[in-house]
Amino acid sequence: MTGSIFMYNDIFGEVKGVVYHYISPNTFEKIISNQELWFTRCDCLNDYEDGEVLGKLCKDCLEELHKSKSIDQEFFDVVSSLKISHSAWRIEKDHAVHLPCKPYVCCFSQDEDSLQMWQYYSKVGNYEGYNIGFAPKEMLNVDTAFFSIGKVVYGEPEQVEHIKHIIKQSFNNYCVDLHERNESNNNKTVLLKRHAILLNNELAKLACFFKRECFAGEKEIRIVLEVPIDAEYRDKFWMKNKNNTYPTPTKYRIQHAMMIPYIVVNFNPDSIKSVMIGPVTSTKDNSMKKNKEVVEEFLHNRLGRTVPVSTSKIPVRY
């Protein structure tokens, strides 16, 4: 089950072309030199509502669908009692294993030269930083059971529409399954709980892709990694991370006095398609020209090939 990352094309549209990862100068050097990306645990990102927006909307969506008779009382009662939680299904020896997981996120943008992104993600002030253009379908050789990619959905109306669509689809699938099986009342309860769990899984996958409208300027694309909580399966999964024969542990860094968990994932260096240098350097000499020259040299030295390097067109001085 290794290969390209699973795409939510039906909801987000296909992620085409190149996506851009904005980072500080020091982080840029580390990413290129080590050929690795950091995936941060979703509930420890800067947006303290990250991963929670969907859960807050879901209750109201269920009540509205129940009121409109789009779902029945039994389905409503069972689904309403579930707490949305992350998981992944993996095939082990011809049978499916359901693994509780924690979601970790790596963030990109559709915008190659965004003032907001330079300001927000360079972290060192003065719009100093870099972005790396990645071809997402070439980036990672991973187990697709644990990875997904999609465009972040901003704004409550569109988010509510997606949630309701998934719930109604789940209820319809349950009704079809119930009719085809002609189950007794006891088995009906089991079947209903099974479909409720499947619905929970689908909603949990979307949770990391919903953000408030105030973040819409980021035009964000995310790769979400579901990290198995069970160490046994986590170790098996990481066997596919650049042919490692040892488990990759959760690491921790401290930022603004907060402990932040993250996972290191190696990427295919051939997936790097471009590099852009942030807006601000000294304009009194040839520092921008010289920096571009050295960055090109650095990339060729570390990656063994030429990567196109450009400079931001945003006209800010400081």
Quick one: pLDDT at residue 209?
A: 94
What was the pLDDT predicted at 226?
A: 85
pLDDT tens, the chain, 318 aa long: 233 333 344 444 467 789 999 999 999 999 999 999 999 999 999 888 998 999 999 999 999 999 999 999 999 999 998 888 888 776 666 667 778 888 999 999 999 999 989 988 766 567 789 999 999 878 876 666 678 888 999 999 999 999 999 999 999 999 998 888 775 566 788 889 889 988 988 898 889 999 999 999 999 999 998 888 877 776 665 545 445 555 567 899 998 889 999 988 889 999 999 999 998 754 555 678 889 999 999 999 999 999 999 999 988 877
DSSP string, the chain: -EESPEE-HHHH----S-EEEEE-HHHHHHHHHHTEEEEEEGGGSSSTTTTTHHHHHHHHHHHHHHHTTSS-HHHHHHHHTPPP--EEEEEETTEEEEEEEEEEEEEEES-SS-HHHHHHHS-SSTT--EEEEE-HHHH--EETTSEEEEEPEESHHHHHHHHHHHHHHHHHHHHHHHHHHT--HHHHHHHHHHHHHHHHHHHHHHHTTEE-GGGGGG-EEEEEEEEESSHHHHHHHHTTSTT-SSPPPPEEEEETTEEEEEEEEE--GGGEEEEEE-S-S-SSSSHHHHHHHHHHHHHHHHHSS---EEE-------
Predicted TM-score (pTM) of the model is: 0.86
Q: How many residues does the chain have?
A: 318
pLDDT at 5: 34
pLDDT value of residue 121: 76
> What pLDDT is recorded for position 242?
47
